[in-house]
């Protein structure tokens, strides 16, 4: 099926946005989708964990602050359960219709958080990710890079707390370093944007990258 899926995927364009907490990627996802719509593209804006009714139920389980006893393996599999549903119910149908799909987080989040953050073996995570996605990868990934202190500070400003945000600063530092390693290994797919800049400048940089990739 993997080959068939890859062939189908060629119709649409698949973008994932990644980064630690507080980088502004959710705002950037919205700005990018508005820009693409202005340019005449059909766009689906979605997020992980979530994007579907089932996915959102799994999201609640994953992020609930009472679920501190969740094992790392249960966490890894739940993110991927939500992802499998997201892919089959939303992402693949949209790509098959030739749409641009923008997802706020995808498989690199799992490598960064569960792999580099929690310390689960990276190869194991990649193979579980592959099972959930049937090997499908984004055409383009934008990594919003920001130092951890600034990110967590920005998040405090919007008063958002979930289970992963209860983790200490060292965890988030490992996640950020992990993201940078992931990007280093896949420079073709992953482009890094400095998220410490103003949101207008960040939006402009994102648009330059996306336009260049869509024209290619």
Binding segment for ligand TMP among 46-54, 134-142, 176-184, 195-203 (CB under 6 A)?
46-54
Q: Is residue 18 part of the contact set for ligand TMP (CB under 6 A)?
A: no
CA dist., res. 18 & res. 25, Å (int): 7
Binding mask 51-90 for ligand TMP (x = CB under 6 A): ------------x---------------x-----------
Select the residue interacting with ligand TMP from 54, 70, 122, 164 (CB under 6 A): 164
Residue nearest ligand TMP, Cβ-based: 113
CA-based end-to-end distance of the chain? 27
CA 101 and chain centroid, separation:
12
Nearer to ligand TMP, 41 or 162 (CB): 162
Locate all alpha helices (DSSP H) within the chain, ordered by sequence. Answer: 2-9, 25-38, 53-63, 72-86, 92-96, 107-110, 122-133, 148-157, 169-185, 199-215
Binding segment for ligand TMP among 43-51, 65-73, 93-101, 119-127 (CB under 6 A)?
43-51
Minimum separation from the CB atom of position 136 to ligand TMP (A): 15
Nearer to ligand TMP, 12 or 107 (CB): 107
Select the residue interacting with ligand TMP from 14, 113, 116, 144 (CB under 6 A): 113
Inter-CA distances, 156 with 49, 54, 149, 184, Å: 21, 28, 11, 30
Contact present, 145 and 195 (Cβ < 8 Å):
yes
Strands 43-47 and 100-104: parallel
Other C-beta atoms within 10 Å of 92: how many?
A: 20
Sheet of 43-47: strand order equals 43-47, 100-104, 13-19, 140-145, 190-194
How many residues bind ligand TMP (CB under 6 A)? The answer is 12
Q: Is residue 48 part of the contact set for ligand TMP (CB under 6 A)?
A: yes
Nearer to ligand TMP, 97 or 131 (CB): 131
Binding mask 131-160 for ligand TMP (x = CB under 6 A): ------------------------------
CA dist., res. 84 & res. 82, Å (int): 6
Binding segment for ligand TMP among 65-73, 88-96, 106-114, 120-128 (CB under 6 A)?
106-114
Which parts of this chain interact with ligand TMP (CB under 6 A)? 21, 47-49, 63, 79, 105, 109-110, 113-114, 164
């Amino acid at each position: 099926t993997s080959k068939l899926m890859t062939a189908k995927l060629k119709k649409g364009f698949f973008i994932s946005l990644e980064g630690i907490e507080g980088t502004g990627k959710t705002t950037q996802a919205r700005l990018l989708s508005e820009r693409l719509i202005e340019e005449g593209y059909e766009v689906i804006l979605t997020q992980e964990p979530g994007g579907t009714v089932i996915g959102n139920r799994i999201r609640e389980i994953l992020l609930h602050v009472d679920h501190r006893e969740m094992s790392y393996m249960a966490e890894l599999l739940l993110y991927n359960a939500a992802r499998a549903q997201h892919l089959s119910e939303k992402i693949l149908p949209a790509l098959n219709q030739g749409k641009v799909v923008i997802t706020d987080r995808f498989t690199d989040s799992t490598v960064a958080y569960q792999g580099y953050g929690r310390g689960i073996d990276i190869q194991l995570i990649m193979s579980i990710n592959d099972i959930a996605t049937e090997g499908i990868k984004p055409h383009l990934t934008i990594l919003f890079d920001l130092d951890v202190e600034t990110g967590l500070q920005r998040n405090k400003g919007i008063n958002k707390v979930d289970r992963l945000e209860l983790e200490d600063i060292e965890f988030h530092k490992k996640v950020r370093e992990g993201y940078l390693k992931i990007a280093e290994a896949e420079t073709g797919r992953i482009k890094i944007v400095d998220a410490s800049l103003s949101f207008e400048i960040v939006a402009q940089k994102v648009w330059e990258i996306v336009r260049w990739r869509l024209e290619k």
